[in-house]
Chain A
Amino acid sequence: MNAHDSRTKPSRRFRLLALLGLMMGALLLGACQRGDQPWRLTNVSGHMPDLDFKLVDDHGKEVSGADYRGKVVILYFGYTHCPDVCPLTLAQLHQVLTKVGPAADNVRILFVSVDPARDTPDIMHAYVNAFDPRAVGLSGTPRAVEALSKRYRSAYTREPDKGDGQYEVSHSSALYLFDRDGKARLLSTPANPQDDLVHDLQLLLDKGA
């Protein structure tokens, strides 16, 4: 376990630094382009890859990023045994979509589990439905989840088992926003006010972007 931890920690730190570096770069770029787009969140247009993955949804159906074209997507990494931060984020997203109004029917929250060992499609189904009907629970093989995580420079680490089968997973708290064509457009962090998320989602929806 210790050897595993020491191997993953540098990797996690590296990916975390990469994410922070990307966010800083995006902020600088956003500043330069301030007059170009009225975004309030961090603009990552052209700096992150298109939405693409091969996972299983909470109905047990194999899905890919292409299945969500036509929808504005909010991508979030978490897990069901996270009893505080993840439910809070999803509850806030429910609040956001409620504020957006009927247009939010064209939004999908993709909740990707970083704990595939415990988060089966059935558990994910009950979980996401407790928050919002537009939320989709995605799980898959550890390899597939890691591939998606790396694609967006997200990081997650399984903390040491406490001996009773209980363990926590530290994970990125960022939200990744994609337009209807699956292009990565915006990055949101817990520090961003909820109204900024509402505002930018409405823009993504209105522009048909």
Chain B
Amino acid sequence: MASKVIRRDLLVGAAACAGALATSVNNGLAKTPRTHDIRIKSFEFEPQTITVKVGDTIRWTNEDLAPHTATAVAADWDTGEIVKDDARSIKVTEGMETNYFCAFHPHMKGTIELI
């Protein structure tokens, strides 16, 4: 008797788990935020243009000897100084400025496409 109860509980538990898993996978496909990597190399952002969604993260890694920044043209976001071999991230938010540059080397420019 006791074993039957346990088995039933187990089955119910397993079904619940499977259901939860399926839900989280479905949600995951639609909503899991991504991290987009941008390399800073030879005074360029690579890639120069990226396509992102709100909630994603953009991570800049500096491979140059010179320190750089990724700074919004409208100044609403800024990674701050990124030294050699260091990385800084920002989270994509609704309505954020999508054009950015390096505050130290203003000819370095990048674009974020929000979809």
The yes or no verdict on A and B being binding partners is: no
